[in-house]
Structure 1
Amino acid sequence: MQHSSFTGKLFSFALAFSTAMFSISGHAALPVTVEPVTQAPLTSSLAVNGTLFGKQDVILTAGISGRVLYVAEPGQRVNKGDVLVKMDTLPLELDKARQKEILNRAQVNLKFHKQELHRLKRLAKSNSAAATQVDSVQNQHDLALSDIELAKIELKVIADQLDRATIRAPFSGIVSKRHKRAGREVSRADELLNLVDIDNLEARLYVPVKYLHYLQRGISLPIQSGNLDMPLTAQATVTSVIPATDPRSQTVEVRAELGKYNPRTFAVGQLVDVTVPLQSQQAQMLINRDALIIRKQGVHVVKVGPDNKVTQVPVEVGKGEGSLVAITPTEANVLKVGDRVAVRGAERLTDGQEVDVQPLN
């Protein structure tokens, strides 16, 4: 009997002790980790593919019709002013010689008509020559002058053709393709060779038009190519944004100039990976995305006050980048830049509950 009474007392004591401990633990401060609310323009990035081009790449064409005597070899590196194409100029030289003789003949005719006109005018003063004779010689004199001017113009045309018979490099570069070989007869404007500006490369890429407001001249674009183990990296500066949208792809063309690199590092026509930074124009309220608590009724964060008591703040979530995400409190002035929000241990907290702020690991 005594043993049963002792057992009952012991059970009652244990129950009372556990109840007290539960009450104490229910009011104990829970440990949390906090981070401050910050404000800055949100920066994200867009990965697109680009193609490298020489800024001055050109397809050189025949300046005149005729036979090709010389065309530079593909792969040949040339400097500005070097000869790339030579045409047969013999027909032009013969035409030039014939035109010079025509000019000489016109000058002889002019001299004769000038003397004849002077003699008839002197005779006309004494009525020894008819006026019609004077007028006829005057016309022949004027025609001889015109023939001289036409011959001079024709000589200038031939000189221009002779000049275009030799095609020189408009810039330093590399011959990438030869369309015609020496000995071929070509017409004016026939394509002869391609010259690429390997020393001044630019990346041309197409960005969705919805990101047009992020693009502007002068921004830097990281460029990467090659394998993942040893990628080739470079920086390009946007030189132009062409606001003409492709109706099908809804993209705009962006051109970015690379700096000076070893010609063996990149090649014209090479595909590269380009990272386009997308920075918002206005500063936004940012928090660590671990502070977001998602419930059926919405998303909220737990604000930790100066007295280490918490308040649930409903928020709307915006864009994110890395560990940061933009938020907008649904009520004004409940959350400010510099306020602390819980990023660990906030899942079961309620309004007014006291917490123990732990240092960040």
Structure 2
Amino acid sequence: MPASDYYQGDETREKRPTVLKGIFFLFILILVVAGLLYGALQLRSAEGPKVAFAAPEPLTVSVMPVRLASEFRIDESFTGLAEARRKSQLGFSSGGRIEAISADVGDRVKAGETLARLDTRSLTAQLASARAMVEEARAGHALALNTVERQRTLKLQGHVSQQHVDEAEAQANTSLARIDAAKAQADTLRVQIDLARITAPFDGVVTARMADEGAISAPGQPLLELVETGHLEARIGLPAVSAARLVPGNFYSLVADTGTVDAKLRTVTGVIDPDQRTVAAMFDIENPGILAVGAVVRLSMEREIDEPGFWVPVKAMSTASRGLWMVYVAAPYNGGWRAEPRPVEMVHSEGDRGFVRGPVQEGDRVIVDGLQRLAPNMPVIPRESPRADTPTDG
């Protein structure tokens, strides 16, 4: 046989699968599947898969009973400043050289006390001249009166006419007018000399000094600032609804950093400030000695809000959707208790408590701590809170 036919027959036999190879492959496959099944059976427990049937242990939580109210009270605080009723910037009405300033910043002065003086030597000389003119006018008037008497005597004797008598009387009246004019000039100079010194218009303390001796003061230029200390008033801005509850003439307690002071309400302006949107109330402070001018004072007032609900600690609430909050109530369930979530709406918050309303009944036990460990409908053991976290007022 040719060599080509021989090689072609070998290739044909190698490519054709044999029955022995198929049986061997099937046997190996059965062994692998059996091994896998045996391993799976070995891993399973003899008692079957473990399934938890016992309920979790109840969690002990602190609770507080709900006390529903038809309204609640809140404390409002309004701030103002204690100010002096009078505050003046003092200066001279006429200009001149400052001769003396006898007050300095911080000095307490009495009403009428001289605080500063101008150089008045020129005015004093003018006053002396005016006084001399008064005396001169008086002398001329006396001479004119004597002349009138003589002219009247001569008239009776027929030596002069009535014309001479009238002229003498007119001269006497003119000299009298000169006396009045000279007196008025002297009085004007006296007033200028008096205004050449600054006196305290009221009891107070000097808070500013803007000039010294020797300086030339212009008319009306402020030299000293005086603040009244004997009478203080407080100006406090309040909303119109709160200001309407104040009664003029009544006494109120104002709180400052130095303590509490009594103040009498003098008036309420009744006009809303366009910037602050508040109404100003003016108080006269009864004991101003313990307050400094410019001190901050606070007025506290109670206000009733006609809203139903109940107080809970802020720590008893958690956030919910749509702007609501959530509290957990320990509710009876199958002879025990479980934590039921209840949505509530915040009406007012005040420090560490809040006034809320929602589907909660009188006497329900609200869980007040441990919210991070709670889940809805979780079994719990309620325990009354040892301290009152919320007030019991309506």
Distance 1:256 1:343 in 2: 47
Q: 1:54 to 1:326 in 2, by over 3 A?
A: farther
Q: Does 1:255 align with 2:279?
A: no
Q: Which runs of 5+ in 1 are unaligned?
A: 1-30, 226-231, 291-295, 297-316, 328-339, 347-357
What TM-score do you get using the length of structure 2 for normalisation? 0.58
Distance 1:268 1:262 in 2: 10
Corresponding residue number in structure 1 for 2:16: none
2:92 to 50, 62, 86: 62
Asked whether the 8 Å contact 2:347–2:354 carries over to 1, the reply is no
Corresponding residue number in structure 1 for 2:179: 148
SS in 1 for 2:167: helix
Q: Does 1:275 align with 2:299?
A: yes
Instruction: Give, as a single letter, the amino acid of the residue that structure 1 aligns with 2:182.
Output: A
Distance 2:99 2:354 in 1: 67
2:254 to 217, 222, 225: 222
Tell me how far 1:211 sits from its aligned partner.
Answer: 3.4
Asked whether the 8 Å contact 2:92–2:197 carries over to 1, the reply is no
Which structure carries more relative contact order (alpha carbon 8 Å, separation 6+)?
A: 1
1:136 to 157, 167, 171: 167
SS in 2 for 1:214: coil
Corresponding residue number in structure 1 for 2:157: 126
Q: Percent identity?
A: 21
Tell me how far 1:87 sits from its aligned partner.
Answer: 1.7
Q: Does 1:53 align with 2:83?
A: yes
Q: 1:359 to 1:95 in 2, by over 3 A?
A: same
- Note the alpha carbon deviations across 1:4-31, whole angstroms, 9 max, x for none: xxxxxxxxxxxxxxxxxxxxxxxxxxx9
Distance 1:184 1:287 in 2: 72
Q: Does 1:87 align with 2:118?
A: yes
Q: Which runs of 5+ in 2 are unaligned?
A: 1-62, 313-321, 323-345, 368-383, 388-394
After superposition, the CA RMSD in angstroms is 4.5
Distance 1:37 1:173 in 2: 53
Q: 1:279 to 1:137 in 2, by over 3 A?
A: farther
Corresponding residue number in structure 2 for 1:75: 106
Q: 1:129 to 1:274 in 2, by over 3 A?
A: same
Distance 1:251 1:33 in 2: 40
Tell me how far 1:193 sits from its aligned partner.
Answer: 0.5
SS in 2 for 1:342: coil
Distance 2:307 2:198 in 1: 62
- Note the alpha carbon deviations across 1:187-244, whole angstroms, 9 max, x for none: 332211001223433332333445331333334243334xxxxxx3332513332233
SS in 2 for 1:81: coil
Asked whether the 8 Å contact 1:234–1:258 carries over to 2, the reply is no
Instruction: Give, as a single letter, the amino acid of the residue that structure 2 aligns with 1:224.
Output: A
Corresponding residue number in structure 2 for 1:234: 260
Distance 2:149 2:356 in 1: 98
Q: 1:211 to 1:38 in 2, by over 3 A?
A: closer
Distance 1:195 1:45 in 2: 35
Distance 2:131 2:81 in 1: 53
SS in 2 for 1:222: strand
SS in 2 for 1:153: helix
Distance 2:126 2:280 in 1: 49
Distance 1:255 1:343 in 2: 47
Distance 2:218 2:167 in 1: 45
Asked whether the 8 Å contact 2:97–2:214 carries over to 1, the reply is yes
Q: Does 1:179 align with 2:203?
A: no
Asked whether the 8 Å contact 1:44–1:320 carries over to 2, the reply is no
Q: Does 1:342 align with 2:363?
A: yes
What does 1:186-335 align with in structure 2 at a 5 Å threshold? 186-217=217-248, 218-225=250-257, 232-237=258-263, 238-260=265-287, 266-270=291-295, 272=296, 274-277=298-301, 279=303, 288-290=310-312
Corresponding residue number in structure 2 for 1:334: none
Q: 1:138 to 1:35 in 2, by over 3 A?
A: same
Distance 1:32 1:192 in 2: 68
Tell me how far 1:273 sits from its aligned partner.
Answer: 5.0
- Note the alpha carbon deviations across 1:41-76, whole angstroms, 9 max, x for none: x4531333x233222322212143322112221122
Larger radius of gyration: 2
Distance 2:347 2:175 in 1: 86
Asked whether the 8 Å contact 1:199–1:260 carries over to 2, the reply is no
Distance 2:195 2:154 in 1: 52
Asked whether the 8 Å contact 2:68–2:308 carries over to 1, the reply is no
Distance 1:153 1:34 in 2: 88
SS in 1 for 2:211: coil
Distance 1:113 1:103 in 2: 15
Distance 2:194 2:64 in 1: 83
Corresponding residue number in structure 1 for 2:193: 162
Instruction: Give, as a single letter, the amino acid of the residue that structure 2 aligns with 1:253.
Output: A
Instruction: Give, as a single letter, the amino acid of the residue that structure 2 aligns with 1:233.
Output: G
Q: 1:138 to 1:85 in 2, by over 3 A?
A: same
Number of aligned residue pairs: 289
- Note the alpha carbon deviations across 1:91-138, whole angstroms, 9 max, x for none: 221121111111101101110110111111222223321222222222
Q: 1:175 to 1:275 in 2, by over 3 A?
A: same
Q: 1:326 to 1:168 in 2, by over 3 A?
A: farther
